[in-house]
Amino acid sequence: MSAGTVRTFRVLTYNIMHRLDALRSSKYFYCAPSVLKFPVRMSRIEKELLHHDPDILCLQEAEQVSLDQLSTSLGAGGYRKAVHMFNSTLPSGDGCAIFYRPEVFRLLSTQTFRFNSLLDKWFSQHMHMTGTDVQWALWRELKEKLNMAVIASFSLMPSGPVVHVVSTHLFWDPLFPDIKLLQAYILAKEVSAYCEEFAKSSPEKQPQGGCILAGDFNSVPYKVHADRYDPELPSLAARYQAPAKSGSRTLNQSLRHPPVPETHPPSSSPPSVAVARPGSPTPPSPFHVQGFSMRTTRSAADPPAEIAGSSEPTEQQGDKGRTDGDGDGVAVESESAEDVGRLYSGVYQLLTQGTVGADHPDHPVTRRHKIPMQAVPSLQVQPYRSAYREVFGQEPQFTNYTVAFKGCLDYLFFEGPDLVAVEAIKLPQEDALSQHTALPSALFPSDHLPLMAEFAMLAPQ
């Protein structure tokens, strides 16, 4: 890619909700049975995905039957399936998948893995230490979880830099944030190792453009109030601070980089989402029923992004006597310029700051008490930036909205010195989400919302 060239592409991530979950009438008692029928939901999901028109699709809770159907409909829309992985031993049989547009990307390589298969690789010396029953229970529980990630490596057509894309889904239970944290650690380490090995072994020696980490991480960004999963939060002075502001390049940093061109040239069909420019009112979105619209990167003069919805969670006891929903049991509050007093979840802090010490409430040493300090180390990984935080200055308030739980669980993380988040779809406000009590509903086919961001690949300096 020559100096002065800017390439853009869109990545979407979406937990489409597997069929077994949709059949749990006790969980979705507020939803009309006809709305939960698989053919109805899948038809609407297909239309939703094609409407947003991303260049790469990262799916979670996809299963064989849904993936077969999506492969046909998305194939007719110009997409190809790059990689998938299922949990065939589970009743749901769901997993992760990635689709892409071959006119935008050339598929170079793929990899799939479950976190439990990599415990010996990343925790070998710690797993085999003499320890307590609590310590052994931690490793046993990690081995039992079948959560996964799939990776696809692409080259921007015709011969651009390599972009690695990951679709993942972490463990759901809010009672075990330490399990999620260790899964996130394994994920980040394995993805980094994969990218490094790819760069070394690639015969074409193409420039490495960066990595996008997308999916359902089942972890809120932060907490400001104690809850039943964290009855006592650390004192304000001891709480963890916000992720560092990005020190990466921006589109306006160098005059030799021209403005970002439109993703869809005037001669092609118009963009599938309306674009809201900073400082101007949001135009009506073609996707007005769901309320999605596009937002460009924030400038220093922009007012704070709009936040809608209650800051307090709504919980419902499930069949097993605990919250029957995803996440950490709390909704995300509006972010301000000051982050003092927030306790960032272990997963979010690890992936955005690159480190979580043993004194963090989500670290196994602190969470389980009887685990000695030497049993599980402080965790350090390559940090990522969040596309939504870069564009809006904050994460979405809601990406999962049910009666049992309302909050942000899904993210588009990315890293790379020449990779920039340019735009992102602005998610519907709470009045639209609650119009039929919660999700899924007649307006929204899943209990999660899709996230989509446009990325720009700048020419190397």
Amino acid 244: pLDDT: 57
Q: pTM for the complete prediction?
A: 0.84
Amino acid 262: pLDDT: 34
CA atoms within 13 A on the CB side of 399: 27
pLDDT tens across 187-204, in order?
A: 999 999 999 999 998 776
Highest mean pLDDT among 231-240, 302-311, 408-417: 408-417
Task: Please determine, for residue 211, whether its predicted confidence score (pLDDT) is greater than 60.
Answer: yes
pLDDT tens across 333-363, in order?
A: 334 444 556 889 999 999 999 999 999 999 9
Confidence band of 245 (pLDDT split at 50, 70, 90) = low
Amino acid 5: pLDDT: 67
What is the Cα–Cα distance from 186 to 381, expressed in whole angstroms? 9
Inter-CA distances, 409 with 9, 117, 172, 331, 451, Å: 23, 24, 10, 10, 11
Highest mean pLDDT among 206-215, 309-318, 366-375: 206-215
Pairing of strands 410-415, 208-216: antiparallel
What is the Cα–Cα distance from 450 to 393, expressed in whole angstroms? 19
What is the Cα–Cα distance from 154 to 106, expressed in whole angstroms? 5
Task: Please determine, for residue 309, whether its predicted confidence score (pLDDT) is greater than 50.
Answer: no
Class of 6-458 in CATH: alpha beta
More confident residue, 85 or 310: 85
Percent of the chain with pLDDT over 70: 75
Cα torsion 382, 388, 393, 397 to 10°: value is -120
- Specify whether the CB–CB gap between 51 and 272 falls below 8 A: yes
**Tokens 């110009």 found at:** 78
**H-helix segments, 77-216:** 119-127, 133-144, 177-201
**Domain residue ranges in the chain:** 6-458
What is the Cα–Cα distance from 61 to 86, expressed in whole angstroms? 9
Amino acid 242: pLDDT: 58
Q: Is the dihedral of CA 43, 49, 53, 59 positive or negative?
A: negative
